[in-house]
Each structure stands twice: as C-alpha cells, then as structure tokens.
Structure 1
Amino acid sequence: MINNNNLLEILSQFFSETKIGEIMTSPAIVVTPKTSIKQVKNIMKVKKISGLPVVKKGLMLEGIISIEDIIKVLENGSLNDPVEKWMTVNVKSFYEDNTLSDFMNVSQEYKFGRYPVINNENKVIGIITKYDVISWLFEKLGTIYIHDDRRKKILDYEEYTSKLTGEILDNKKISFEFNIDYTDISKIGIGATKLKSFLKKIRINEKLVRKISIATYEAEANVIIHSESYGKIFCWDFEDSIRLLIKDYGKGIENVEMAMQEGFSTATEEVRSQGFGAGMGLPNMKRFSDKMTIISEVGKGVIIEMIFYK
C-alpha cells in the first residue's frame, strides 16, 4: 500500500529540481526574540499555524518557536516570558534556490514540521512545510487519482477527509445538498441550476458562480449518463473557498487517466444522439475548478472533490 509519505516522494520526483522559492509560503509570519510567548500563542491561534521564525532587525534568522515550545512554557514557565528564552536556536533552514529534492532529503532526516527559507542576504523570506509541497504538487498536477486500496475505505465512508486539504468535510456543515436521479437524462442540470441559485443567494461572485455551475453540470451529467446509480452533490461554503463533492454509488471509472483525455467517452449512441457524451466532462471540471481530485474503484462508485477559491 502507498502511504502519504511515499506518495509525496513519488510525485516530488517529477519536480525534483524545482526551487524552494517557487513552493514556499511567503512572506512568512515572524516574531522577534522579545515577543512574549502569550503573543505568539495568540498569533498561532488566529493564523492557524504551528510555528514561527524568530528574527532580529533586518529579518535575520535567530531561531524558531513552535507549538511544542509553547507546551513546554505552559508546563514550566510563564506566558509573559520572551520568545528568546524558549525558542529553538539551532534551526535548519533552506535558501530559496535550494531544490525540492533538497527539501525531501532534509525533511526525511530531521522530521521538523517547518523550515524557514532565506535569501542570499540571510533574510527570512518565507517558510516551507510538507503541506506547502503537497498543495503545490496538487495545484501543479491539477488532478490526483488515488490508485491504492484507500479508495475502498474512502468510498465506504459518509464522513470524508479532503484529499486536497486534509480537512474533515463535516456532513453537519453542508451548505447545499442535492440528490441526483440517474433514471431520466432530461434531468441533467437540475442540480447545477439549484446550486447556482443558492450561490447567488449567498452573494458569491458571479464569475465564480459560473465556473462552479459549469463544473457541477458536467459532474451531474457524468453521474446520470455513466454511473447507472443515484448520486449526490454536496457543497460547503468556507471562508476562502467553495468546496464541492459529487459522489455516486455506481460502476466506477475503469481508467481515470483515459477518461481525463478530451474527447474520450463511453456514452451510448442513444446518449450521443441527445447531445451528450462528447467526452469533455472531466476535462471541463478540471479546467473550471482550482483543484480537483478523483477517487474511484470499479463497482464502488466515484467521488469527485473540487475546490473553487473565492
């Protein structure tokens, strides 16, 4: 079975010479040695991060303070203590010209959660984590197809962990839900139309609504034309994005890579005669979404996850 680390290693091989400067999060949120631990704790909570580079004047790297250090303070110190008292000073960092291959080698050896990135003047200009690398790879590749036996587990669970962000897509927080009826081809587009109306009501940008509607229409059509099973459309309204999950319980996709090719279709002549089955469904979903993942197993259905950034 391929685990997450192995998957990351396999994908990163294709981009091994990519510069860290292209992948890092920049600018980095930083603190000074005199910043109080209490302030650091609040920054981490608000920004939802687990570590901060510590810099002196001129953004020169002094150390790093992490959630692990905060825990030590709570056990043995005071939240009013300055960062310099608790920070880690022997910091492993990268230059922006270091490569993804360099990052993979170092992160396997040291196992740190985050690494400051500096320029040739030794100024902190960003930070890089494995999450940054995974996000960058997903964006670069556009579509990830999960090949290993995790597919069965994913398809069998109602609560879904996003393969794009690692977040739990909580069923209790669904903003919009629609049941797809595969028995009537004339019903293609009803779900997309209802979702479009919902998004307009919550004042989503018109151009974004159009992109989401097109991608949803294509996904809905695929369920009705190809799955031979009922399906569902789920939508979550997050602060920074709209997340879609289209799930069916049908025959699955035998070859996702082939299905992603423009013009490839397994639609019947009857379906084609009604103007569907041109083989542009999955390519259009990829084109109009910012990130997309397909998970499928023959006989177990299909899950398509899409993210549209606001």
Structure 2
Amino acid sequence: MTEILEKVQKVFANIKVSEFMTKDVVYVKPDRTVAQVKEILRLKRISGVPVVDDEGKVVGIISIEDIIKCLENGTLNEHVEKHMTQNVICLDENSTLQDVIKQFERYRYGRFPVVDNNNRLVGIVTKNDILAAVATRLGLLYLHDERRKEVLDEDILNRSLVTGEEIDKKGADFYFKVDYFDINLAGVGAAQLKKFLISKGIDSSNVRRVAVATYEAETNVVIHSGSEGEIFCFIYPDRIVVRVEDKGKGIESIELAMKEGYSTAPDYVRELGFGAGMGLPNMKRFSDKMVVLSEKGKGVIVEMVFYIQPS
C-alpha cells in the first residue's frame, strides 16, 4: 500500500484531508473507564479512539496498547484520563494529502485525529480513507456507503491487533490449519511450530514460551469454537508474532475467560484433561503482549507478541 501512496501522492497532492476523512468519529470523554473503552473498541472493531473534553477539544488518545497495560496492572476500572496518551499528534483540517502521507510515514500510526483551528475534533483519517479517496477519483472503485462500511469493518482482519500495522497472512513464516473434529489432535500445530522455530535457530527458552501459549490458543479453538482455525507465525529480528483465528462461536465475556479456573468446557472434555480454565491466562502469562478480539457468533482472533530474549 505504501508504494501505491507514493505513486499517487503527487497527482492528488492538494486534496484536503477534510475531503476524505471519516467525519462520524467514535470518541470518549476523560471520565470514561478503561473497561468501557475496551468494550467500545471490541464492538466497533477499532484499535484506538480520541479523548475529547466537554468543548470537543482533543485532550488525548487511548489505544489497545494502553488497554493491555491496564489489563496487566489490574486498572481497567480507572478513568481514561489516567492512562491515555496526552501528547496527541493531530492533523489540521486544511492539511493536504501530501501532508497526511508525510505524517503517516513519520509516526507509523494507524490513524490520526483531525482538528479545526480551535483543536476541536472534526474527523479521523486512516490509510484506507486515503486509498478510498484516490481510487474513487481515479474511477477504479465505487462503493455504496453500506458496502464501504463492510469493507472497513473487515479491515481489522488484515491488521495487527497490537500495532495496527498491515499484516500479510500469505507471507507468514509458518501456517497451520487447526482441525477441530478430534480433540486428541489439539496441540499438533503448536508442536509443529515448536519444531519450526528450533529449525530457525530460535533459543529454546523463547521457543518454549511461544509453544505453550500457542498450545493453549489451539486447544481453545478445538474445544470451544466449533470451527476450523488457523495459526499464523511471523518472525522478526526482535520478536515473534503468533496469531490464532477461528470463525466459530466467539467468547461471550473476555473478562470472565481471563480469570484463572473459569471454563465453559463440557464434562467429557474435562475428563480428557482439557478445559481447566487456564487457556487465556496462560497465553497472557507466556507472551509479552496479547490482544483478544471476539464477538459472539463471529469467532475469535488472538494475537500474541513474544520479544526475543537473549539466550
């Protein structure tokens, strides 16, 4: 996508951000709790929201990463103003397309709030907004409002839940399709991933953390989803990212599922030694960062980041 933007930015350099930004912005007030924001992000399938005061001025921004920290510290019920990022980089509504692209390249954020001369929130812009504007002007793409909304909602499936960056699943270093029909096969994917990482020269202590967390995620797919799942692994110089997806039943309450010992596994599964209620807690314990995205009836996406530690 970056290459496309580089090619078209000269042609459409003077388009104003106000022409292609999203004007119907989801935002929160500073006195909302982090738990409430977490639910908003889950329902809207977005990775962050601006924080505005009573005058509509941008005073901060809160993202999934901030929420992860609150989950780790047990501060989900505290106010947003205590955990939001205060020094927010905003775009002026009179900024041009060229200005906007430069900001994306400089800061690598997934989105920017757009403000007027009084710092009041008037919109928000993402790279998808830029592409939609350019494609429409070129006559290559036309989407009715409802269809465009569906496309943007699906965008989260192709972005990192942790950073918001685009991910290329077809280019994953490791892929495994999870078979949910036989519970005795739970863990096969994690075992294959372990062998793969060892073959890549990853230190055994790092491999162990990845394998344990992936095993728990894979087992959850087999026990709870009622759907086939997929395991993707991406290896970077400083980290390993594992993403496990299914399109099954979803999780009714992530808060409950995060509690140790909480389980909805049927008795026959427990008799086989599975379903002890340690899946998500163990995944969180062994990974450095973890985000869970789920909606009832629409499946689960778990993304885990493991920073490569020295041997």
Q: Does the C-alpha gap of structure 1 residues 238 and 110 become closer, same or farther in structure 2, counting only changes over 3 Å?
A: farther
Deviation digits for residues 153-203 of structure 1 (CA, Å, limit 9, x no counterpart): 788569521121121111232000000000001001100000000000111
Backbone CA RMSD of aligned residues: 3.3
2:94 is equivalent to residue 50 of structure 1: no
Which residue matches 1:5? 49
Quote the offset at 1:239 in angstroms: 1.9
Q: 2:198 aligns with which of 191, 197, 200?
A: 200
Q: 1:230 aligns with which of 217, 225, 228?
A: 228
Deviation digits for residues 265-290 of structure 1 (CA, Å, limit 9, x no counterpart): 00000000011110000000000000
Structure 1's consecutive aligned runs of 4 or more residues displaced over 3 angstroms after TM superposition are 6-20, 108-111, 152-159
Q: Point out where structure 1 has 5 or more consecutive residues left out of the alignment.
A: 25-47, 52-107, 112-151
Q: Does the C-alpha gap of structure 1 residues 162 and 264 become closer, same or farther in structure 2, counting only changes over 3 Å?
A: same
Structure 1 counterpart of 2:215, which letter?
Answer: Y
Q: Point out where structure 2 has 5 or more consecutive residues left out of the alignment.
A: 1-25, 27-39, 41-45, 52-60, 68-77, 88-103, 108-117, 122-149
Q: Give distance in 1, aligned partners of 2:165 and 2:238.
A: 14
How does the TM-score come out when normalised to structure 1? Answer: 0.54
Structure 2 counterpart of 1:6, which letter?
Answer: P
Q: Is the 8 A contact 1:174 1:236 kept in 2?
A: yes
Q: Does the C-alpha gap of structure 1 residues 165 and 227 become closer, same or farther in structure 2, counting only changes over 3 Å?
A: same
Between the two proteins, what is the percent identity of the paired residues?
46
Quote the offset at 1:109 in angstroms: 4.5
SS in 1 for 2:274: coil
Deviation digits for residues 139-159 of structure 1 (CA, Å, limit 9, x no counterpart): xxxxxxxxxxxxx87885695
Q: Is the 8 A contact 1:155 1:301 kept in 2?
A: no
SS in 2 for 1:265: coil
Q: Is the 8 A contact 1:176 1:235 kept in 2?
A: yes
Q: Is the 8 A contact 2:190 2:214 kept in 1?
A: yes
Q: Does the C-alpha gap of structure 1 residues 6 and 280 become closer, same or farther in structure 2, counting only changes over 3 Å?
A: same
Structure 1 counterpart of 2:286, which letter?
Answer: F
Which residue matches 1:286? 284
User: Equivalent residues in 2 for 1:206-217 (5 A)?
Assistant: 206-217=204-215
2:300 is equivalent to residue 302 of structure 1: yes
Q: Is the 8 A contact 2:180 2:222 kept in 1?
A: yes
Q: 1:256 aligns with which of 254, 257, 262?
A: 254
How many residue pairs align between the two structures?
190
Quote the offset at 1:50 in angstroms: 2.7
Which residue matches 1:63? none
SS in 1 for 2:300: strand
Q: Does the C-alpha gap of structure 1 residues 166 and 257 become closer, same or farther in structure 2, counting only changes over 3 Å?
A: same
Q: 1:164 aligns with which of 162, 166, 169?
A: 162
How does the TM-score come out when normalised to structure 2? Answer: 0.54
Q: Give distance in 2, aligned partners of 1:284 and 1:224.
A: 17
Structure 2 counterpart of 1:204, which letter?
Answer: I
Question: Larger radius of gyration, structure 1 or 2?
Answer: 1
Deviation digits for residues 200-224 of structure 1 (CA, Å, limit 9, x no counterpart): 0111111010000000000000000
